[in-house]
Amino acid sequence: MGVRVAVAGGSGYAGGELLRLLAAHPQLDLAAVSGHSTAGQPLSSAHPHLRSLSDREFAPTEPSAFADADLVFLALPHGQSAALAAALPAEQKIVDLGADHRLTDAAAWQSYYGGEHAGAWTYGLPELPGQRARIAASHRVAATGCYVVAVTLALAPLIAAGLASPHDVVVVAASGTSGAGRSPKPHLLGSEVMGDLTAYQVGRHQHAPEMKQATGAASLSFTPVLAPMPRGILATVTATPVRPGVSAADARQALADAYRTEPFAHILDEDAWPHTGATYGSNSCHLQATVDADSGRIVAVSAIDNLGKGAAGQAVQCANLMLGLPETAGLAVDGVAP
């Protein structure tokens, strides 16, 4: 028998991907999975693709449902994790896929999310310097936002290496529709999404303060774009060099130095550029960098699966560290194609 884990909010897209990863994990056993409106229904009603879990049933999202779990994943909507986490035993390990415990700045939480700030937990991005050890030593970990994973892995090493200025960072990132959740919304209908690209929450997306917190950027403009695909994020990050003469080779070297031993951060060969399809179903982030020939700005591009490295895969990666398991257990570096 492996380590017993539970999933609160397993009926959504991130919850479903988390269940898929847990079903194949060699050292984790699913103790319970809860849903809100799906309580009492078979798991197959929400996730017919999860054949190995078809005999399971959604429990109510109540603390008692998770009593037998060593670690609980919270895959709940933003603003709903804190109350459940507060009702769980202090010794029970938790990975929160929501935003409730990511931000260290209470004013930023109130400005972008509203309501009372629940306090910050250990930030769940192992690739940041020193963060892996902090995650391994923690009982409470806040998994990174999906857009933030893609942006941070592209930008943070460039700022840390003294190549990119933390001021005047510009990010444009396209995401698949699963990033908007599973609740039915008119603008996410197939007829609305197909053949269309749409910018949204321009100038005030809730992930902007988290991007600044994670990357060290002081000023950041973020434009998210809804793309006609079910999953994936492609982020293009540009920044002003801190000194004249910064080259494409310098930018690539900074990424290579930062991720030389990282299992899930992959620097592409020179002149190859990330695309989302190559990351589907994986926990990998594909990266590339150059310097724009006209403006002189550093350009870094990253691709992830928003449900993988951007959510469920990242959460399992953190849980592995918290439980003393191999960090890569149950996680794929290879994507699925076509």
Catalytic residues: 146
Q: Residues near 206 by Cβ (< 8 Å), separated by ≥ 6?
A: 78, 99, 112, 113
Q: How many Cβ atoms are within 10 Å of 99's Cβ, its own excluded?
A: 23
Distance CA 67, CA 64 (A): 5
- Strand 198-199: give its sheet, edge to edge: 198-199, 220-226, 169-175, 233-239, 298-304, 285-291, 265-267
Report how far residue 205's alpha carbon sits from residue 171's, in angstroms, rounded to the nearest whole number: 12
